[in-house]
Structure 1
Amino acid sequence: MFDTSFSTNDLSYMLQGAWLTLQLTFWAMLIGTAFGIVFGLLRTMYPKRTIPLGWFLDIFRSVPLLIQFVLFNSFKSIANLPYDAFQVAAVVLGVYTAAFCTEIVRSGILSVPEGLSKASRSLGMTQKQTLLYIVLPLATRISFPGWVSLALSVMKDSALVMWIGVIELLRASQSIITRIQEPLLVLCVAGLFYYVMSLVIARVGVKFERRWQIND
């Protein structure tokens, strides 16, 4: 008979960690998407003027996320800034997300056929109207699958915040493993949580894509 020390309290503790993981993912995607849209537009409209911005974003894309967490958390402590570990994690993960979201937005805009912009201008639409009503709606549809994939990646990368003291799903799982010494069971449960959360995000993304197709 299968015997385990894993209790309902442990399950509840992991659920709290999963909820914190979702919160981190939400704030990271909110921050990253907002800045990604702005930076993506700037990088597309003014490519030469925004070369320094591109270099800056390359740093966040290139440096491992774990190093970014540790460096920013250390800077927070040295500068005695009034932010807790969760806020540091959300900001760092948000900037990291913005670096990738910028390229998603930029590639989406550049994927819109230039002939559509020329056609709208020939019909009397201004550059701003062309951008708002022609380019951005099409670019959004093109970029959306990449944005969903980024959200799934950010959710998994959020596990690295455990190194700065944030008790998300993986950190909660490790605490339980240390106490009951049943790593296989606990990690299977944690993996199931990640699978369910990823499945929900993916399904919501598919639903939005289908709605756009129906509206067409």
Structure 2
Amino acid sequence: MNLFLEQLVGIAQYYPVLLKGIGITLALSAIGIVAGSMAGFLLGIGRASANKPLRFVIGAYTDIFRGTPVLVQVFVVFFILPEAGIELGSFTAGALALTNITACFISEIVASGIRAVPRGQLEAAASAGLTRFQQMRLVVLPQATRMIVPSLVGQFVLLVKDSSVVSAIGLFDLTRSGWVIVQNIPNGLLVFALVGIGYFLICYPLIHLSRRLEKR
């Protein structure tokens, strides 16, 4: 018991390390959520369009990234792109990989929501003289967004958890901070239990929001 308390006190001395890790995780997650959502909506609109070649290209692109591990994608961005002359720092590489994978998943969510809007809504909008852009902006997207919001929030939670893979490229996120602390406090169970609590505290507000939206 005394040893446990000593280790707990020792971990408490590393709170700046944990705070730094939490800050990086929050920054990566925020970038992935904002940029991934914008790109995902654009891809989703294209995925649900009447243009078959466009649907095929977007579908193939998203399937490739949705069907491969996030860690592999992070490695490709960080280690392979420099060979093509594109030098990226670890934070930029991590943010880019997470944004891309988030956009791919969100695109399918958005496309499904658009397809769920009754066809009669588009026909009514067209008969009212609305252009295709106006139909999408004023009729389709408002209805689709209400249906897909719970799924979107769930994807945001997955993004926060997936962000832990960036520790593999040396980025000092919450998971990496745990590895640093465990080198000095040899109690992996205790250290990573606290790291897990940190992720839970970040994700729980999103989980709670998703549940409320599903009920509504």
The TM-score normalised by the length of structure 1 is 0.88
Contact 2:11–2:191 (Cα < 8 Å) also in 1: no
Q: Secondary structure at the match of 1:166?
A: coil
The question of 1:140 aligning with 2:142 is answered no
1:1-216 → structure 2 map (5 Å cutoff) = 1-2=1-2, 3-5=5-7, 6-50=10-54, 51-205=56-210, 209=213
Offset at residue 9 of structure 1 (A) = 3.1
Contact 2:154–2:210 (Cα < 8 Å) also in 1: no
Label 1:127 to 1:82 Cα distance change in 2 as closer, same or farther (>3 A): closer
Offset at residue 123 of structure 1 (A) = 4.0
Offset at residue 27 of structure 1 (A) = 0.8
Offset at residue 79 of structure 1 (A) = 4.0
AA at the equivalent of 1:60: F
Output the CA distance in 1 between the equivalents of 2:133 and 2:211: 30
CA RMSD of aligned residues (A): 2.0
Percent identity of paired positions between Structure 1 and Structure 2: 30
Label 1:124 to 1:52 Cα distance change in 2 as closer, same or farther (>3 A): closer
Output the CA distance in 2 between the equivalents of 1:81 and 1:122: 49
AA at the equivalent of 1:56: Y
AA at the equivalent of 2:141: L
Contact 2:21–2:173 (Cα < 8 Å) also in 1: yes
Q: Which structure 1 residue ranges, 5 or more long, are not aligned?
A: none
Q: Which structure 2 residue ranges, 5 or more long, are not aligned?
A: none
The TM-score normalised by the length of structure 2 is 0.88
State how many pairs are aligned.
210
1:16-50: per-residue Cα shift (whole Å, max 9, x none)? 11121111111112221111111111111134122
AA at the equivalent of 1:22: L
Output the CA distance in 2 between the equivalents of 1:54 and 1:60: 10
